[in-house]
Structure 1
Amino acid sequence: MTKKVVLVVEYNGSEYKGWQAQKFGVPSVQENLEKALAIIANHPVKVVCAGRTDSGVHASAQVVHFETDVERSERAWTIGVNTYLPTDITVVAASSVSDDFHARFSALSRRYRYVIYSSAFCPAILAKGVTWTYKTLDVAAMEAAAKVFLGTHDFSSFRAIGCQANTPIRTILNFDVQQLGQYIVLDVRANAFLHHMIRNFAGVLMSIGAGEKPVSWAKQTLEAKDRTKGGITAPPTGLYFVDAQYPDVFNVPKRPLGPHFLPYVDEPVYELPS
């Protein structure tokens, strides 16, 4: 009897050309995960994720599902699968889920964190895990600018030229900017995201934080609905998929908000969108 299993997966995307499996010889997170799962399941496995990540982008809690007709313990789907994965990909949770669950289509929201490291010197440790700037950033100005993006808007100024989404309309549910020591974290939750959307947010906010542009530039860029008005696309190194929210009925495993090197911050409980 076929059943569905949901996994929570952590990965360092530095050595991969993104989440999605591609042509032979192009390293991807999906391909490595499917190969490891197939060994434990003893049959080919195809996985579906909550939100595909680009080349060099990481995840602390990517949610995936797959179908299988074999009985395996949660330990087998985690520790067993991890035995066959490279060290930069780890399954951190697994559970059975109802047949009507879908990692992508059942998600009510997705959440990313963009981590900036502000220091005179580029970090040797986490060099590919953060976005480094030698500039001193005004976090209050970045926070004020970020609030412009809250709500439902046409985000054409923040989508990649090659974005294949049917519409540029998205709803930003939360957008917080906070400083944790030398880390500045952009924390964004939305119903869905456009291609390069968060990295383009980061490019605009870093320019504002550095004093190169006024806070009002965020609104001007949004209202322009023109990617050429949106400034640079920030590097992928600081971007993490950190959470996907689902209706409680599915009982999807939850993990502490990552990435794990950040100090823990007690935060308000966000309501699920209706």
Structure 2
Amino acid sequence: MRLALGIRYNGQAYDGWQSQSSGRTVQDKLEKALSQFAAQRISTLCAGRTDAGVHALMQVIHFDTEVQREPFSWMRGTNRYLPDDIAVQWAHPVPAEFHCRASALARRYVYVLSQSPVRPSLDAGRVGWSMNLLDGDAMRAAAALLIGEHDFSSFRASACQARSPVKNLRRIEITRHGEGERCRWQFEFEADAFLHHMIRNLMGCLVRVGRGAESPEWIGEVLAARSRDAAAPTFSPDGLYFLGPLYDAKWGLPAEATFQAARAAYDDPP
């Protein structure tokens, strides 16, 4: 039987998603908990690897097992063995041809940024930070130049293992919450897939434009350069959240994981 699980986690305490010899990764903790619940070794694949310090609201994984349990039992039973900052949100049986990474039609991230003259304290590690006042209109104008299918080599980490730097960036939505020098910004990204550090590198450029160090047109020049040296430094991982992948409704996953439901929400917001 193949099962898909939706996972939520706070990434502050972990060395990213992917298993490492240190054992300090989300995958290591999840596979240990699954194996304890199933009383047999469980190996998982994920929809999108996250870096150290990056969080997830809906990481999707899948695995194969001969153990027969009800979906709610996989959720509750696995959570019993997980640390407090990782929790299974749902479990769903899927056909053998489902693959959490290859079957995804899109992926979404959000970056939460605190604009304040004082660094974060209570929410340290959960939000990024800018001490500078940011111009939302300038950042939106810059973001518009990134939409579509492009070679994103300028925003690609040197360690990226993607076969191609060409990705289709479908949406960047930038919203501000609050007024004055203290407020919170939210940057939501949707694409068919992302390169390693792509969003953090995009954030570095958008914030540079937002604080007036560059014009919105500059980000188009960075994109055209196809060189990492042309872009701003990689931004902090603290405020980055993996919102999750989106799938065809045929897989029967929860509505928040389906492309059609997400698309309808964007086209007809509440």
Give 2:194's aligned residue. Answer: 193
Cα distance in 2, alignment partners of residues 176 and 255 from structure 1: 18
d(CA) in 2 for partners of 1:183 and 1:254?
28
Alignment of 1:82-161 (within 5 A): 82-161=79-158
1:94, 1:253 within 8 Å by CA — same for their partners in 2?
A: no
1:109-132 per-residue CA deviation (whole Å, 9 max, x = no partner) reads 100011111112222121000101
Which of structure 1's runs of 4+ aligned residues deviate more than 6 A? none
Gaps of 5+ in 2: none
1:83 Cα deviation after fit: 1.0
AA partner of residue 16 (structure 1): Y
**Corresponding residue for 1:230?**
231
Q: Where do 1:1-274 residues align within 5 Å?
A: 3-23=1-21, 25-181=22-178, 182-255=183-256, 269-270=265-266
Deviations 1:90-144 (A, max 9, x none): 1011111111111000001100011111112222121000101111111111111
- 1:255 is displaced (CA, Å) by 4.3
TM-score by length of structure 2 reads 0.92
Deviations 1:7-51 (A, max 9, x none): 10001111111100011x240000100010111111100111110
Identity value in percent: 42
Distance 1:107 1:267 in 2: 14
Paired AA for residue 203 in structure 1: G
**Aligned counterparts of 1:61 and 1:241: Cα–Cα separation in 2:** 7
- Counterparts in 2 of 1:268 and 1:202: CA distance versus 1, 3 Å: farther
Q: CA RMSD in A?
A: 1.6
**C-alpha separation in 1, matches of 2:163 and 2:245:** 21
Contact (CA 8 Å) 2:59, 2:243: kept in 1 or not? yes
Residue 210 of structure 1 aligns to which amino acid in structure 2? R
Answer whether contact 1:40 1:76 (CA < 8 A) is retained. no
Paired residues of 1:165 and 1:194 also in contact (CA < 8 A): yes
Amino acid at match of 2:17: W
Size of the alignment, in residue pairs? 259
- Does the C-alpha gap of structure 1 residues 88 and 70 become closer, same or farther in structure 2, counting only changes over 3 Å? same
1:254 Cα shift?
A: 3.8
Secondary structure at the counterpart of residue 206 of structure 1: helix
State the alpha-carbon separation in 2 of the partners of residues 268 and 202 from structure 1. Answer: 26
